[in-house]
Amino acid sequence: MHHLSIALALVIALSGCATWLANPPALRDRPDAPGTFAAALARGLPAAVGVYGVSVPTELATNASAAGAVALRRSTDRGERPPWTDVDTRTRMGAGFFVSADGLIATAAHVVTDAPSIVVKLPDQRVMTAELVAADADTDIALIRIAASLRAPPPLGSSASLRMGDWVLAVGEPYGLDRSVVAGIVGGRGRHFAEDGELLFIQTDLSLNPGNSGGPLLDMRGNIVGMNLRTIVGPFGTPGLSLSVPIEIVRQIVNELASHGRITRPRLGAGFEDVSPFAALAAGRTHANGALISSVSAESLAWRIGLRAKDIVVGMNGRPIGDSADLARVLLSWRSASGTKITVFREGRYQQLVMD
C-alpha cells in the first residue's frame, strides 16, 4: 500500500508538471491572454526594421548603448566576430518602423545621431544605407529615409485605444538578434518625467534590451501604437518598467522634422513633474494636482515668462492642468509664445504670468 501511494503521488506530480508545461504561469495567471500573437505580428512585422548607427572605433559616439558595447567588447576579446558587425566596426543597435510607404522610417535619435553611416535591415533581410532626414534630441526621435518602399501603408494605429492591462508587443533587434518579439501588458498611460519636457510615455512591463530602442509597439490588432524608447531599471538591477512614446506624438514629431528639419514650435525650457503629496502639503495645498516646476533654464521662455522652481502650474492658455501629463499635452499643441498665459500657485496664492 505504501509503494502504491508513492506511485500515485508520482503520477499526480508528473500530471501537474505536464499541465504546467502546457500552460505556463506567465499565461495561466493572465486569464485574458490570447492563445497566440501570430495574427497581430503578421500585420505589424512587415513595417518593422533593424537600424544600426555605424562608426569606426575612434568615432564611437559617447551615447552608444553601454550594454551593446560590453557585448561587442566581450566578443572581440574572445576573438569572435559579433553577428551584427565585424571586428573593425562599432555599432549602435536599434530598431525602427516605416511611417509612410515611400521609405520614411522613425527610430530613436540616439541610435543614429552623429553616426557616419546608418544601416537598415529590412524584413526580407535586404540591407541598405539610410539618410538622416532630421533628429530631435529633446524627444529622442529621428526620421531617416531609405530607397525602398512598402507594398501597403504601415499599420499606424492609435494609442488612445489602449487600456491598462491590455496586451502589447515589442519588435526589435536586442543584442543584434533578428526581429525579436516580446509580449507584455500596459501598466499606465500618459506617464511623464521631469527631464522629458513635453514627452509622454506608455508604461509597460515589456522586457526591452539594447537594440529595442526605436522599434514599434504593437497592439493586439497588429497596429503600431507607439515607439519603444527606454527601460527604467530598479535598484540593484531589479526588474523595472519600460516606456514607449505614443504613436500620435511620434507622428507629430516626424511630420515636423519632415517639413522643417527641426521642431519649430516653442520650447518651454523648464523641467516639471507631478505634484507629490509632500510637495502639495509644503505649498499649503490640500490637493496634489497641477504640475510642479522642478527647474528653469536660464534665458528660456519659462525664465522670460517668470516661472520659478517650486511653482505649481494649474492652468495654461485657458486649459486646466491636472498633472504634468496635462501640461505636456498643452505644450505639444503650443504654437506661439506671444500672449501665453500660465496660472501658478506660488507662496500661498494664485498668480497669472503673461508672456509679452
- Three-state SS at 255: helix
Residues in Cβ contact with 213 at an 8 Å cutoff, skipping those fewer than 6 apart: 65, 94, 95, 107, 108, 110, 111, 172, 228, 229, 230
pLDDT of the residue at 189: 92
Q: Structurally, how many domains does the chain consist of? A: 3
pLDDT of the residue at 174: 86
Please name the residue ranges forming H helices in the chain.
Answer: 2-22, 25-28, 38-44, 66-77, 109-112, 247-260, 277-282, 301-305, 324-332
Q: How far apart are CA 96 and CA 253, in angstroms?
A: 15
Q: How far apart are CA 282 and CA 276, in angstroms?
A: 10
pLDDT of the residue at 71: 40
Same domain, 207 and 276: no
Same domain, 210 and 284: no
Would you write out the chain's pLDDT as a tens digit for each of its 356 residues? 444 444 444 344 444 444 433 444 444 455 566 788 999 999 999 999 999 998 754 343 333 333 344 443 443 344 444 443 444 446 789 999 999 999 999 999 999 998 999 999 999 999 999 999 999 998 999 999 999 988 889 999 999 999 999 999 999 988 878 889 999 999 999 999 888 888 999 999 998 888 899 999 999 999 999 999 988 877 766 667 899 999 999 999 999 999 999 998 899 999 999 999 999 999 999 899 999 999 999 999 999 999 999 999 999 999 999 999 999 999 999 999 999 999 999 999 999 999 98
Looking at the DSSP assignment, which residues form a beta bridge with residue 118? 53, 130
pLDDT of the residue at 32: 62
Taking a C-beta distance cutoff of 8 angstroms, is the pair 339, 303 a contact? no
pLDDT of the residue at 177: 82
pLDDT of the residue at 288: 94
Same domain, 241 and 282: no
Q: How far apart are CA 221 and CA 210, in angstroms?
A: 26
All cell numbers assigned to 356: 509679452
pLDDT of the residue at 31: 55
- Three-state SS at 321: coil
Domain boundary among 231, 260, 289: 260
Half-sphere exposure (Cβ direction) of 143: Cα atoms closer than 13 Å = 22
Looking at the DSSP assignment, which residues form a beta bridge with residue 272? 293
User: Is 28 a member of any domain?
Assistant: no
Residues carrying an active site annotation: 110, 140, 213
Taking a C-beta distance cutoff of 8 angstroms, is the pair 21, 201 a contact? no
pLDDT of the residue at 306: 96
Same domain, 170 and 253: yes
CATH of the domain at 338: 2.30.42.10
User: Is 219 a member of any domain?
Assistant: yes
DSSP 58: G
Domain boundary among 204, 226, 260: 260
Reduced to 3 DSSP states, what percent helix, strand and coil does the chain have, rounded to the nearest 5?
A: 30, 30, 40
Residue type, 345: F
- Of 132, 139, 98, the closest CA to residue 116 belongs to 132
Same domain, 166 and 111: no
User: Is 41 a member of any domain?
Assistant: no
pLDDT of the residue at 33: 62
- Three-state SS at 180: strand
Same domain, 279 and 248: no
Domain boundary among 145, 178, 212: 145
Concatenated DSSP letters of 28-49: HT-TT--S--HHHHHHHGGGEE
Residues in Cβ contact with 322 at an 8 Å cutoff, skipping those fewer than 6 apart: 289, 290
pLDDT of the residue at 90: 67
All cell numbers assigned to 313: 502650474
